[in-house]
Amino acid sequence: MITNSLYEHYQKDVIPQLKEKRGYTNPMQIPKLVKVVLNTGVGSDKDRENLTAAADTLGQITGQKPVITKSTKNISNFKLRAGMSVGASVTLRREKMYNFLYRLINIVLPRVRDFRGIPAKAFDGAGNYTFGLNDQSVFTEIDMDKAKYTVGMNITIVTTAKTDDEARDLLALLGLPFATN
């Protein structure tokens, strides 16, 4: 059983509002969150210090050990060979996912400099939403005195929504601050 204020908000407030707005008759039609994926790329395998710093940063932010991602193709222009380590990734589900989203919505995004909302058009057509953060310094878990490198990351929120409009309604009701324009 998940005990989190964002999950309780979803159960008590978001589900009835979605039922009323969209006219869902079956509870299985109501969109829900599946997972949140954090992904960062650091480039080539040559600078192992960057890769370990990025992995440590993702681990501190999520509380979960990241997976080192490897390249699948040879790309000569980037001096990249198949199997070289190029980034780190973390997949959050259930309670950790709701805890991360709660912190993201209420603590991290308001700390972003000149923040005017996240883009409302970054949906993929299947109800999933992806946006990027340029700097890890907005996360309170990171000690910036010890951080040598700035690490940007992509955050993907995967939902069971069939369309982008359903996913937009779900995420807006959960509290994600979309930009107005």
Reduced to 3 states (helix: H, G, I; strand: E, B; else coil), residue 49 is helix
- Both structure tokens of 167: 């996913």
User: Which among 2, 140, 4, 9 has a CA at the least distance from the CA of 63?
Assistant: 140
| pLDDT at res. 28 | 83
Q: Which positions ≥6 away from 64 have C-beta within 8 Å?
A: 90, 92, 96
Question: Which of 5-19, 30-44, 62-76, 134-148 comes out lowest in average pLDDT?
Answer: 134-148
Which pLDDT tens digit goes with each residue over 131-140? 888 776 677 6
CB 93 within 8 A of CB 35: yes
Mean pLDDT calculated for residue range 47-70: 79
Judged against a pLDDT cut of 70, whether residue 3 lies above it is answered with no
**CA angle (145, 146, 147) in 5-degree steps:** 95
pLDDT at residue 1, rounded to an integer: 46
Superfamily name and number for 32-174: Ribosomal protein L5 (3.30.1440.10)
Answer whether residue 147 shows pLDDT above 60: yes
Strand arrangement of the beta sheet that strand 67-70 belongs to: 67-70, 85-92, 33-41, 153-159, 129-133
Asked whether residue 77 carries a pLDDT value surpassing 70, the answer given is no
What ranges do the domains of the chain cover?
32-174
Residue 21 confidence class, pLDDT cut points 50, 70, 90 = confident
Percent of the chain with pLDDT over 90: 0
Instruction: Identify the weakest region by mean pLDDT among 8-22, 42-56, 83-97, 100-114.
Output: 42-56
For residues 59-63, average pLDDT? 82
φ/ψ bin of 142: left (φ > 0), alpha (ψ from -120 to 50), beta (otherwise): beta
